Amino acid sequence: MSRFASVLALPVLFIVGCGGEPAPADPLLGLQLIGDDLSDIPLHGASAEQVARFKEGDALFDFVFRERDGLGPLYIRSACAGCHEGAARGPGAVQKMVLVEADGVTPAVDQAALPYGHTMRPYGVAGATTLARPELEGTIKLSQRLGPPVFGRGYMEAVDDAEIERVAAEQAARGDAIRGRINRVVFHSKKNADESFHTFAEGDENLIGRFGFKARVATLDDFTADAYQGDMGITSPLRPDELPNPDGLTDDAKPGEDVVLDTVNAVADYMRLLEIPRRAPADERGQALFAEVDCAACHVPSLRTRADYPIAQLADIDAPVYTDFLLHDLGPDLADGLADESASSVSWRTAPLIGMRHSTSYLHDGRARTIEQAILLHDGPASEAADSVAAFRALSREDREALIDFVRSL
Ligand code: HEC
Ligand code: HEC
């Protein structure tokens, strides 16, 4: 449906191309076609009811909010799809800023010069003062986060907590540098009427963070409400307040909460029902090398899901997510100076390797243009992945290519 969104964004092209008439109904509406490679499609075997819910959420994901829909007062993009087009990576990104110590990595204790936080919000409605980089004495570190793909995130949400705890314990018992940590995060969405996707005990405030580059959010409804608020200035019952801003504005052109709870849940359900793009049959050589050089220690090929996950196709299966959901220190070169709950400046959640061929850049900020570059940039003396990258470098050219082809096929 991103075609529909770009029609809205480019009315001139639309008029030139189609004579001003609405485009005819597209039989593939809701499906994203890249070459002959389908992505942005519902889970295999989805019921008619699930397909309807998927389409509802997909349309909301692509919906371009306007001022009268409650956009702002400050925002970065006006649609989820602005940063996750066709459920894939980008083109939109979030620019971050933080005051750091002289080492360029450690966050400074005093962040008072950034009273509205670390995120630049370049657009405002009705003349609101936007958040850009302030003129500052001292060291300010800038970084960006490119919207990652959201394929297969239902599989990720469904993974059993016990599996993540098991992998963390196994890594702690290894003799080498690989030692991932769970990011325990505060869960905000207890108010959600639809609690069936959540596992928490009464009084349990700390869940396993799974989503976001630093695993700072536990569930997809929580992430959706957070993205609406933080990236778009759209408030909801799960995040009822506009974020603090220089003009002290507490609302926008649409009084009160901008979307209802079911909107948040429909978007979350769309991502839960979003299939992993079809994977080519595994090349055995590449797959074996992926394990041999320890990529699979962090990018864990599969984890078991909860038996009680409410989407039957995702319950009690081996979810091929290629992540351990754990935070790993990858050294100062990738550090962004930002902490998220227990994640530090140098730590990142293992990126799930899902739909890799639909990306044209890699790593949190898109600095790698190829999969090979992404691998080499995990390196560095202080990186937990240093041995793995060294083992990759030591492979013959042929073997490196087989391994990269395997990653591309995921
Ligand atoms: C301005 C760009 C932007 C917009 C708009 C945006 N996102 Fe994101 N999205 C990001 C970035 C950047 C990240 C990584 C965030 C982090 O590390 O905290 C992200 C992460 C995510 C993730 C976690 C994926 C993962 O692998 O952990 C989900 C889910 C998500 N976004 C959904 C949404 C939804 C739903 C909307 C609309 C309500 C939305 N996003 C709007 C940029 C954006
Ligand atoms: C110590 C854990 C660890 C090991 C070992 C490891 N990785 Fe990673 N990998 C990560 C983390 C963490 C990230 C996210 C870094 C970022 O976004 O800046 C990542 C990111 C990636 C990405 C980018 C994905 C994307 O969507 O941007 C690719 C590709 C990748 N790894 C492949 C590999 C391969 C291939 C190997 C083996 C040679 C490997 N990794 C070994 C932890 C690891």
Average pLDDT of 362-371?
A: 97
**CB contact at 8 A, 250 and 241:** yes
- Residues 238-272: b if buried by 16+ CB within 10 A, e if exposed: bbeebbebeeebeebebeebbbebebbbbbbbbbb
Average pLDDT of 348-357?
A: 97
Q: What is the pLDDT of residue 14?
A: 32
- Whether residue 197 has pLDDT greater than 90: no
**What's the chain's Rg over C-alpha atoms?**
21
Q: What is the pLDDT of residue 133?
A: 84
CA 368 to ligand 2 center in whole angstroms: 11
CA 115 to ligand 1 center in whole angstroms: 23
> What is the percentage of the chain residues whose pLDDT exceeds 90?
78
Ligand nearest to the CA of 338: 1
Nearest alpha carbon to residue 381 among 324, 334, 323: 334
Average pLDDT of 301-327?
A: 97
Average pLDDT of 371-386?
A: 93
**CB contact at 8 A, 354 and 408:** no
Q: How far is CA 38 from CA 63, 282, 358, in A?
A: 21, 18, 10
Give the chain's mean pLDDT.
89
Q: What is the pLDDT of residue 32?
A: 58
Average pLDDT of 348-359?
A: 96
Cβ-Cβ contacts under 8 Å for 106 (sequence gap 6 or more): 100, 337, 345
CA 286 to ligand 1 center in whole angstroms: 31
- Whether residue 354 has pLDDT greater than 60: yes
Q: What is the pLDDT of residue 360?
A: 94
Rounded to whole angstroms, how far apart are CA atoms 262 and 236?
Answer: 10
Taking CB atoms and a 6 Å cutoff, what residues make up the pocket around ligand 1?
76-77, 80, 82-84, 92, 94, 145, 147-148, 150, 153, 211-214, 216, 220, 223-224, 227-228, 231-232, 267, 271
Max mean pLDDT among 168-182, 204-218, 277-291 falls in 168-182
**CB contact at 8 A, 321 and 159:** yes
Could you report the per-residue pLDDT of 112-124, keeping only the tens digit for each?
Answer: 999 999 999 999 9
CA 25 to ligand 2 center in whole angstroms: 41
Rounded to whole angstroms, how far apart are CA atoms 169 and 180?
Answer: 9
**CB contact at 8 A, 87 and 149:** yes
Nearest alpha carbon to residue 219 among 165, 260, 265, 167: 265
**CB contact at 8 A, 140 and 96:** no
Q: What is the pLDDT of residue 267?
A: 98
Ligand nearest to the CA of 300: 2
Rounded to whole angstroms, how far apart are CA atoms 409 and 282?
Answer: 8
Q: Which residue has the tokens 């009268």?
A: 68
- Whether residue 181 has pLDDT greater than 70: yes
Identify which has the larger pLDDT, 253 or 187. 253
Could you report the per-residue pLDDT of 19-53, keeping only the tens digit for each?
Answer: 334 444 444 445 555 556 789 999 999 999 999 99
Rounded to whole angstroms, how far apart are CA atoms 318 and 159?
Answer: 9
Q: What is the pLDDT of residue 119?
A: 95
Ligand nearest to the CA of 394: 2
Q: What is the pLDDT of residue 191?
A: 74
**CB contact at 8 A, 144 and 96:** yes
Q: What is the pLDDT of residue 13?
A: 31
Residue of the nearest CA to atom 2 in ligand 1? Answer: 83
Give the atom of ligand 2 at the shortest distance from the alpha carbon of 356. Answer: 26
CA 201 to ligand 2 center in whole angstroms: 33
Identify the band that residue 10 occupies on the pLDDT scale cut at 50, 70 and 90: very low
